[in-house]
Structure 1
Amino acid sequence: MQPNLASHIQIQFSHWDITRPGYVEADTVAHCGDSVAGRFAWSLTVTDIFTGWTENRAMWNKEGGLVYERISDIEKVLPFEVLGFDCDNGGEFINHALHDYFTKREKPVQFTRSRPYKKNDNAHVEQKNWTHVRNLFGYDRLDKKKTVVLMNDLYRNEWSLLQNHFMPSMKLKSKERIGAKYKKQYEPAKTPYERVLESDSVADTTKEKLQAIHATLNPFTLKKIIETKLVEIFKHIKVSSNVRQRL
């Protein structure tokens, strides 16, 4: 983290009042196995708070320049424009390249960061780190650079299509404190694809393109391709004693 820059980035004490897509959280996941020594692959997770639409990208180490490139790549495929970007205080995010990328465009993006050591501030993306990264690759050490290319081939294609078009999730509708407990109500489970189609903020032309893609997809076929690609990826690593959860 660059201290002088961090002091100019607003801390997000509470989540935005989200009524449309475009406000995203981002985080990174280390594929280091039992040791952070040396060089290894990282995964970047970017998730939209309103729809749950999530994209992942792999990179070799997590230098700020690489994160900037991966976020730019993700932004090109999102079915909505990014309006707000929230992250933790890691140096891969708090750097001038990424800050300028969001704040010096024609329509600046609101750039915020969480409080140090407060993981709940990024609860949406933390949950996706589990469902979209750990459930796929587990906790094994990915320390062969060639695996990054294979991971991105999976992340950009079948994994994104399966998760965003076919995997529903529930959204918290309300939370009421009653005594020492909270009463929570949830909206019906929907896929990110469904929430994008329901949003008045997404252009009709974008929805039509998504519908055309959706009509060509079969979740069972996607899962078979994912398993085939995982076999190829795990040929390049030494599987640890940790149990890797699979689809």
Structure 2
Amino acid sequence: MGERVEVTRRLRQAYRGAAKAEKTAILDEFCNLTGLARSTARRCLTGPEDSKRIDHRSTREPKYSAQAATVLARVWKLMGCPSGKYMAAAMGQWLDALTRHGELIEGRLGYSQAVRAELEHMSPATIDRYLKVERSCVRLEGGPAICHGNLLRNSITTRTAADKAEGYPGFFEIDTVAHCGSSVAGRFAHTVILTDVHTGWVHLEVMEDDTHAQMVAGLQRAVEAIPFTICGLDCSAAPGFPNGEVTAWARSQDILLTHSRAGARNDRPTADSWNGHALRRCGFAQRCDTAWQRHTLAQLWKAVRLKLNYFTPTRKPIGWSDTADGRRRRRYDTPTAPLDRLLESGTLSPAQQDELITHRNGINPANLTREILRCQDLLLNSAR
């Protein structure tokens, strides 16, 4: 195309001032060079010159500096690659923690107070736009299988999606996940996940297998580790949960035990959401059947639950709204970390609140991310 424009510009003046015989020769040459028909070639040589395209769009300098984009990508990776909406909600808390523990130092790697002000001023959409290239390089693995079994339907209350959620912490949805790899043969590790419906607090415990005794032992460890009282447990409509031993244990602990309907995933959206966010994203699909793998998996879950409960904001549905075309749209609250929701609930004493806040201030979230990656590498390298 550029050559055609140059030939047209060069021959146009010669064609206009030439005699008839010369015009015929110029036109023949132009047709041979450009491949145009004679009538089209004649219009190109006799018509007006092509108008120059002028770009009237104004150019402006980028709003955020290159240093801010670099630090943003680093913080995003340490946070576990969240979306812009959740990253913006937790930006201030993470910058405070990373600065407090020496992960971000003024004058090093482009970080400064001016860069921090830029990061805190970024909107969620801007964060996603700046991280588009980084996000395209991230590929998540699959997850472990969910085991299935029978329920004690006659002795345990059924809980559905229509039941109103309790307005205070202590009611957990629980589920079990099998780390069986591609085969369910033999003995392999399981994880029991407990998720508080009100705060989003999550707890994960590794079990040697899915026997009833292991389930009771795992739940007992969870009760001792969770920093507030467990009032109720809602089980999945799948295996192992609940069973006779778990039911007897719950009664001895004065814990209300319910179960969801078979095949009704909407009855337990909280547990299913955390299964995907915590278990499948962090635990992958490798088989874990040795004591060393279970120990590594337990270390992984310890780092995961600290990061999720103390530094990862979540959002809760608060109602519905109608769009301009009459469609219903879910409304959510501001993304908040489970610990902050727990502190706002008023169920903890001042001493308990101070203890949890002090514990969070002493945790370096960057080290949690490094520990998660270390355990994941160990599990991937040991997979069979």
Structure-2-length-normalised TM-score:
0.57
**Secondary structure at 2:268 match in 1:** helix
Give the C-alpha shift of residue 124 in structure 1.
0.4
Deviation track 1:130-182 (CA, whole Å, cap 9, x = no partner) reads 111111121222233431122112213x2221111011111101135789843
Separation in 2, partners of 1:192, 1:31:
26
Structure-1-length-normalised TM-score:
0.87
Asked whether 1:88 is paired with 2:252, we answer no
Separation in 2, partners of 1:124, 1:185:
16
Superposed, 1:57-72 pairs within 5 Å as: 57-72=205-220
Report the equivalent of 2:172. 24
Unmatched segments (≥5 aa) in structure 2: 1-148
Q: Which structure's residues are more often helix, by fraction?
A: 2
Match of 2:337 among 191, 194, 197: 191
**Secondary structure at 1:45 match in 2:** strand
Contact 1:40 1:145 in 2 (8 A): no
Once the two structures are overlaid, the 10-residue window that deviates more, 65-74 or 145-154, is 145-154
Asked whether 1:222 is paired with 2:368, we answer yes
Q: How many residues align?
A: 234
**Secondary structure at 1:154 match in 2:** helix
What is the letter of the counterpart of residue 72 of structure 1? Q
Match of 1:161 among 306, 312, 332: 306
- Output the aligned Cα RMSD: 2.0
Superposed, 1:72-221 pairs within 5 Å as: 72-105=220-253, 108-156=254-302, 158-175=303-320, 181-221=327-367
Match of 1:6 among 146, 150, 153: 153
Give the C-alpha shift of residue 99 in structure 1.
1.0
Give the C-alpha shift of residue 203 in structure 1.
2.1
Separation in 1, partners of 2:220, 2:322:
40
What is the letter of the counterpart of residue 29 of structure 1? V
Query: Following TM superposition, where does structure 1 have runs of at least 4 consecutive aligned residues deviating by more than 4 angstroms?
Result: 176-181
Report the equivalent of 1:35. 183
Once the two structures are overlaid, the 10-residue window that deviates more, 42-51 or 225-234, is 225-234
Separation in 1, partners of 2:317, 2:272:
16
What is the letter of the counterpart of residue 10 of structure 1? T
Give the C-alpha shift of residue 78 in structure 1.
1.2
Q: Which structure's residues are more often strand, by fraction?
A: 1
Separation in 1, partners of 2:178, 2:164:
28
Separation in 1, partners of 2:270, 2:334:
17
**Secondary structure at 1:143 match in 2:** coil
Report the equivalent of 1:243. none
Separation in 2, partners of 1:210, 1:83:
20
Separation in 1, partners of 2:208, 2:294:
7
**Structure index of larger Rg:** 2
Separation in 2, partners of 1:36, 1:175:
42
Separation in 2, partners of 1:201, 1:188:
21
Unmatched segments (≥5 aa) in structure 1: 239-247
What is the letter of the counterpart of residue 265 of structure 2? K
Contact 1:43 1:57 in 2 (8 A): yes
Higher relative contact order (CA 8 A, sep 6+): 1
Separation in 1, partners of 2:265, 2:327:
21
What is the letter of the counterpart of residue 61 of structure 1? D
Identical-residue share of aligned pairs (%)? 25
Separation in 2, partners of 1:61, 1:104:
23
